[in-house]
Structure 1
């Protein structure tokens, strides 16, 4: 039986895979499940933020990045200066 950490890692891998295949709703769903299981894992918020960005939901994307900052991690993408908008 996989550990919680292994489940979260698999969810994040699946979320990233869905994102790169433009399955943004599925990517967001998987990222949110990872957040539910590991609310202090910044990678889960990054995946959710990427999905929100691609779905055109700038405010939610920015909220995910604020959470990452509050968790003490450098944000990989900056939705405020993104060419997506």
Structure 2
């Protein structure tokens, strides 16, 4: 998940910067049912390494959620294939 977020942030069309984040893994729901998921906190921008400036987000959202989901699914399934889980 972190690598997908970083790759989206590095894309010049999205942000063109390095981002920081804090991630928390939750393994259960409120009813204590098994439900693994990740919560991610990302600032509304990142650091442009070449210009050494802060680049803030230009729209309402940092990245397109549908595009993120598609990229994450691809990386996740490729990783599962690499270790023989699929």
TM-score by length of 2: 0.24
Larger radius of gyration: 2
Which protein has the bigger strand share? Answer: 2
Which protein has the bigger helix share? Answer: 1
TM-score by length of 1: 0.24
